[in-house]
C-alpha cells in the first residue's frame, strides 16, 4: 500500500524545538512565559492590528470566552453561520443561549448577509434582539465581511469572527479576524499552523485582553488567599505549546504560498472537467489562505458524485472529506431556528475537501491527479 495522503496534516519546520527547549531550560513549564508573550506579538504583527491577541488552550475556548465577554447568557439569542464545524456553535449552548442558524451564500460558502438580516429582524419582532453574531471564514475564504459588519453595526450587535481556518486570509488587504468585536484563531493539528492544540482570541484593547486572561486563568481576585467573585476557566495556553507556535509563525507565509499553490494545482486539474467547480475567490478583494481546497460535483447533472469519488480516493489511501454538515441538520441542533434556503445543504451534498497540506509533494499530487483523471475518465 502507498503511504497515506492526509487531508491537512501538521507540518513542522524544525524551529519549534528550539523554543520548546528554551522553555525547558528556563523551567517556564506553565501557562505563562516568554513563548506566550512572543507568540502573541508575532500574531499581532501578522494581523497588522492595534487590537490585542490572547493565546488560549483552543479555538473553542476563544469562542466561549468571546461569548462570555459579549455578555451572552441564559436565554439570549446568538445568530450563527450554519455551514461550519460544531465548535462554532457549541459554546452558544455552554452559555445556555439559543442559536439561530443562517444559510450560506454561493460565492464564498459563508453566511448570507440577506438571511443574516432576516434572522435578526425576525428575532427582534419576537422581542429578542440577538446578543451576538458568529460568522466563519470557511476553508480560509473570507466571508462578505464588509456587508456583515455593516449589518452588525446597523443593529448594534456584537460580531464574532470565527477565523479558526483563516489565519493569513484578508479582505481588501485587512486581515480576517480583525473586523469584528472579537476574532478567533485555532492552532489545532489540522490547521494552517499548529501548536498541537491551541487557539487565540483577538480583542479590542488591553482592558478586554486583561479581562480575558483573568477569566482564562480561574478568575482569581487580587487577594493573597484564593478568592473568587466570578466563575473562571482554565483556558490559557501552555508556554510549551506557544513555543511550537513561535516556530510555526516563522513559516506561516511559506505555508500560505504552498496551500495556495495546491489550490492552483486543483484549478488546473479540474479546468477541463465540466462537472466540477473549484471554490475560488469571487474577486480581487478576497485573499484566501486556501487552508483547504474544496470542489463541488453537481450530482443532478452527471453520473459522478462526491461520495464515490471520496471512496475511490480512499482506496488509493488518499484522504478527502465532505464539507461540514450544516448545524441545522445536526441531530443535536435540529430544534433551533434556521433562516435560509438550501445553499448550505446542497454544498454539504455536493462538496468535497481535497488533500491540501503544506507538506503535499509533487509525487502526492501526481497520485491524486491520476485517481481523479481515472474517475472522471479524462485522458
Q: What residues line the site for ligand PLP (CB under 6 A)?
A: 58-60, 84-85, 87-88, 136, 162, 164-165, 186, 188, 199
Least distance in angstroms from the C-beta of 324 to ligand PLP: 8
Least distance in angstroms from the C-beta of 57 to ligand PLP: 8
Least distance in angstroms from the C-beta of 27 to ligand PLP: 27
Least distance in angstroms from the C-beta of 84 to ligand PLP: 5
Sign of CA dihedral 122, 123, 129, 130: negative
The residues facing 218 across adjacent strands are none
List alpha helices for the chain, DSSP H: 16-25, 34-47, 59-69, 90-94, 113-125, 145-154, 206-216, 239-249, 252-270, 306-315, 343-350, 362-375
Q: Is 148 helix (H, G, I), strand (E, B) or coil?
A: helix
Per the CB < 8 A criterion, the answer to whether 216 and 68 are in contact is no
Least distance in angstroms from the C-beta of 154 to ligand PLP: 25
66, 114, 89, 61: which is closest to 326 by C-alpha?
A: 89
Closer residue to ligand PLP, CB minimum distance, 23 or 192: 192
Least distance in angstroms from the C-beta of 46 to ligand PLP: 17
Q: Is 272 helix (H, G, I), strand (E, B) or coil?
A: coil
Q: What is the C-alpha separation between 144 and 61, in angstroms, rounded?
A: 25
Q: How many residues does the chain have?
A: 379
Least distance in angstroms from the C-beta of 162 to ligand PLP: 5
DSSP assignment of 124-135, as one string?
HHTT---SEEEE
Closer residue to ligand PLP, CB minimum distance, 113 or 198: 198
Least distance in angstroms from the C-beta of 125 to ligand PLP: 30
Q: 69-73: list long-range contacts, CB under 8 Å, 24+ apart.
A: 69/182, 69/203, 69/208, 69/211, 69/212, 69/215, 70/131, 70/132, 70/158, 70/160, 70/181, 70/182, 71/131, 71/158, 72/97, 72/131, 72/132, 73/97
Least distance in angstroms from the C-beta of 300 to ligand PLP: 28
26, 29, 19, 43: which is closest to 209 by C-alpha?
A: 43
Select the residue whose beta carbon is closest to ligand PLP and give its number: 59
Closer residue to ligand PLP, CB minimum distance, 95 or 188: 188
Closer residue to ligand PLP, CB minimum distance, 241 or 276: 241
Closer residue to ligand PLP, CB minimum distance, 249 or 269: 249
Closer residue to ligand PLP, CB minimum distance, 148 or 276: 148
Closer residue to ligand PLP, CB minimum distance, 59 or 367: 59
Closer residue to ligand PLP, CB minimum distance, 65 or 251: 65
Strand order in the sheet with 293-297: 276-278, 293-297, 351-354, 321-322
Closer residue to ligand PLP, CB minimum distance, 163 or 247: 163
Amino acid at each position: 500500500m502507498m503511504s497515506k495522503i492526509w487531508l491537512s496534516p501538521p507540518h513542522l519546520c524544525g524551529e519549534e524545538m528550539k523554543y520548546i527547549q528554551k522553555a525547558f531550560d528556563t523551567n517556564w513549564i506553565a501557562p505563562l512565559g516568554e513563548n506566550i508573550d512572543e507568540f502573541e506579538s508575532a500574531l499581532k504583527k501578522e494581523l497588522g492590528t492595534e487590537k490585542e491577541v490572547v493565546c488560549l488552550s483552543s479555538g473553542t475556548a476563544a469562542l466561549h470566552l468571546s461569548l462570555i465577554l459579549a455578555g451572552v447568557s441564559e436565554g439570549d439569542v446568538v445568530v450563527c453561520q450554519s455551514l461550519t464545524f460544531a465548535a462554532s456553535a457549541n459554546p452558544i449552548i455552554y452559555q445556555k443561549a439559543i442559536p439561530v442558524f443562517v444559510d450560506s451564500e454561493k460565492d464564498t460558502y459563508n453566511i448570507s448577509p440577506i438571511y443574516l438580516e432576516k434572522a435578526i429582524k425576525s428575532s427582534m419582532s419576537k422581542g429578542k434582539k440577538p446578543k451576538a453574531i458568529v460568522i466563519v471564514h470557511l476553508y480560509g475564504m473570507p466571508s462578505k465581511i464588509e456587508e456583515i459588519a455593516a449589518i452588525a453595526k446597523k443593529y448594534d450587535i456584537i460580531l464574532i469572527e470565527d477565523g479558526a481556518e483563516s489565519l493569513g486570509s484578508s479582505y481588501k488587504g485587512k486581515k480576517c479576524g480583525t473586523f469584528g468585536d472579537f476574532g478567533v484563531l485555532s492552532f489545532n493539528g489540522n490547521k494552517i499552523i499548529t501548536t498541537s492544540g491551541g487557539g487565540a482570541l483577538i480583542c479590542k484593547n488591553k482592558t478586554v485582553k486583561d479581562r480575558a486572561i483573568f477569566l482564562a486563568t480561574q478568575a482569581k481576585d487580587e487577594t493573597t488567599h484564593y478568592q473568587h467573585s466570578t466563575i473562571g476557566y482554565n483556558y490559557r495556553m501552555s508556554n510549551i505549546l506557544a513555543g511550537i507556535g513561535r516556530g510555526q509563525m516563522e513559516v506561516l507565509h511559506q505555508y500560505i504560498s504552498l496551500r495556495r499553490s495546491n489550490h492552483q494545482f486543483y484549478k488546473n486539474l479540474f479546468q477541463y472537467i465540466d462537472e466540477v467547480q473549484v471554490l475560488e475567490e469571487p474577486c480581487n478583494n478576497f485573499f484566501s489562505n486556501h487552508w483547504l481546497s474544496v470542489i463541488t460535483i453537481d450530482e443532478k447533472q452527471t453520473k459522478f458524485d462526491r461520495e464515490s469519488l471520496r471512496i475511490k480516493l480512499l482506496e488509493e489511501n488518499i484522504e478527502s472529506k465532505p464539507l461540514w454538515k450544516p448545524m441545522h441538520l445536526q441531530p443535536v441542533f435540529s430544534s433551533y431556528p434556521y433562516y435560509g434556503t438550501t445553499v448550505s445543504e446542497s454544498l454539504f451534498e455536493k462538496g468535497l475537501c481535497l488533500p491540501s497540506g503544506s507538506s503535499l509533494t509533487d509525487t502526492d499530487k501526481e497520485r491524486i491527479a491520476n485517481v481523479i483523471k481515472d474517475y472522471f475518465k479524462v485522458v
